[in-house]
Structure formats: structure tokens, C-alpha cells
Amino acid sequence: MTGNLIEQAADFIRENDGFTLIAHISPDGDTLGSALALYGVLKELKKDAQVVCGNRVPPNYVFLPYADELLSPEAARKLPFAISIDCADALRMGVSAPLFDAAQSTLNLDHHVTNTAYAKMNVVDGSAAATGELIYKLAMRLLPCLTEPISVCLYTALLTDTGSFAYSNTTPETMRIAADILESGIDTYEINRLVYRTVPYHKVKLLGLALNNMELLCGGRLGLTAVTLEEMRSVGATEEDTEGVIDYVRDVDSVEVAVLLREVDTDVFKASLRSKRYVDVSKISRAKNGGGHAFAAGYTAHGAFGEVYAEAVRMASAALEDEAWKVS
């Protein structure tokens, strides 16, 4: 992506005031880190701004600067300008979408290749490892230097969407940005501990249930598991506690494609998809009107559990065998 689009986004922020920043539902480290970093930038610029999400901040991200200022859509004001952050499509904004729709002008900042360009101005870079990379480039155009709170948010965005800089989406540019962020003197060990090494007991119990439910198919190349609402309630877990469960399925040595089905309502399931080397799971998700990246994607499925599970098996099995589903 050329710097011209980033400069246009910077001009959009310089020339206007009154911004609603929207993080996506089931928030992860990239959408929260990016949204809160941009919120910090706007505060430094003395702009009127608010950051909104349809779900609460997960426990492992409450340490983020400005996290205590995140609002529910119901508590938010109607401001003239709206910026969606890390949302591949409008549906990812969930109940925050009306705030976006009501704005007189909108900006979409994202790095998903499946982004549907739904805003008036769309700054989307599929080559970026995280939306945090785009926010960093914006910040460098708008501020003389990064403050420590903004740096903590940006580092968290990069850390989580690259799997601690281990995923294939990590580029030399990602590492250069991370190095520049580190110049602010942030405590990266503490950030890593809070994000990855501080786990509630009920989340560990849920992980045990999910791993017990795991099944290997296609000669071990396909790993699937599922958790029901009843199972989550039995250990006192919520949907945010399922974050990271899919990684344990993917990490089985023989697995190429991993699927996690999470029940969210009667006959409604969220499917999380991961792959290791050659299957483009975003093609599976797009076939179900979902979105994501080549190696990490998701979709929503409707129907009885047995039907949803069987369909996930069919699609993933086909993806393992058909060249059309391979990473191009």
C-alpha cells in the first residue's frame, strides 16, 4: 500500500473533529491495541473522540492504556466522524454499526484481504501483519513521537496478530516497526506475561473440555473441536475464553487445517479456522460469507450442531485435496 492512502487518512484526522473509533466484536489484541492507540493519538491532538466496542475488554487486555475508557455503543455519543478498526466488513462492528452508519463521513482501517471496502474512505493493506502497522504509520504522520501508552497499545496489536512474531505474516517491515516502538522503552516482558501467561482457571478448564472433544480426520491432517454453551457454562467460561483454543488444535503435528466450532446461540455457531502451510482457509470462510486471512479466518454457521459439524468437515476436507483452495 502506498503512503498516499495513509496520508489521506492523516488529513482526514487533521481536518476534522469528533471521532467514534469502533473495534470489532469478540475483540482481540489487534483491534483493541489499534483502536486504543489511535484514541491515544487523537487525545494527543486534543481531538474529541471516543472508542466503542460491542463487547467488553477481555481480562488479558484490561492492562492496555485507555482500556477503561472503552464504551458500549449504548453509552456512546453520536459524533460526526467514524473510523472502523480491524473490521473486514460492516458486520464485524456488530451493535456498533449504527454509530458508523449515522456518521457524516467514515474511514475503514484494516489489513484483511477479504475487506469489503464499505466506508467512504478505505485504507486497507493486506500485506500488513496487523492493523496496528497502519495505526503506527498514521501516528508517525500525526505526532512528533510515540508516547509510552500509544507504544504499549501498538506493540500489543503487533504481538498478538503475529503470534509473538512467529506467524508467516511477520515481515521485515513488521520487525522495523516493532523495533521503533521499542525505542519508547516499554516493558515487552510484562506485556507478554499479561497477554499470554496470565490465564483464569475457568479458561484452563474450558481448554480441557475443548481438547477432550478434539477429533482428527483426513489421516490426521484435519483437526476439529467444538464447545457448546452448556459446556462453557459448566466451567464458568464465556466466549472470550475461547480465544487461543484453536491454536492447540492447529499445533498437533499432523494437522494442516484446524476448526473450532463455538456455540453462541440456539443453532448458531462461530467457526474459527487455522492452517499451517498451504490451505487458504479464507476461501472456506468466504464461501460462508465470512472473512479473514489465508491462514486464519472464520464464519458464522446456522443449523443443528450435527449439520454444522458435518458441513465444516466437508469444506475442510475438500480444501485439503483441491488445488483451488491452496494459498496462491
Q: How many domains does the chain have?
A: 2
What's the CATH code of the domain at 123?
3.90.1640.10
Q: Please report the pLDDT score of residue 2 as a whole number.
A: 60
Task: Kindly state whether residues 39 and 142 are assigned to the same domain.
Answer: yes
Residue 304's alpha-carbon distances to 140, 212, 301, 311, in angstroms, are 49, 21, 9, 11
Task: Kindly state whether residues 254 and 149 are assigned to the same domain.
Answer: no
Last residue within a domain, chosen from 143, 171, 196: 196
Task: Kindly state whether residues 11 and 110 are assigned to the same domain.
Answer: yes
Q: Report the candidate in 41, 222, 249 with the shortest Cα–Cα distance to residue 134.
A: 41
- Domain containing 22 equals 3-196
Task: Kindly state whether residues 210 and 87 are assigned to the same domain.
Answer: no
Last residue within a domain, chosen from 151, 174, 196: 196
10-residue mean pLDDT profile of the chain (328 residues): values are 86 98 96 98 98 95 98 98 97 97 98 95 97 98 97 98 94 98 96 95 96 98 97 94 95 98 96 96 94 93 97 97 85
Task: Kindly state whether residues 171 and 30 are assigned to the same domain.
Answer: yes
Task: Kindly state whether residues 185 and 227 are assigned to the same domain.
Answer: no
Residue with cell 472502523: 84
Q: Please report the pLDDT score of residue 240 as a whole number.
A: 87
Task: Kindly state whether residues 130 and 222 are assigned to the same domain.
Answer: no
Q: Please report the pLDDT score of residue 3 as a whole number.
A: 76
Residue 147 burial (CB count, 10 A): 17
Q: Report the candidate in 94, 112, 118 with the shortest Cα–Cα distance to residue 27.
A: 94
Q: Please report the pLDDT score of residue 58 as a whole number.
A: 93
Task: Kindly state whether residues 125 and 22 are assigned to the same domain.
Answer: yes
**Sheet of 49-52, strand order:** 49-52, 19-23, 81-85, 105-110, 121-124
- pTM, 2 dp: 0.88
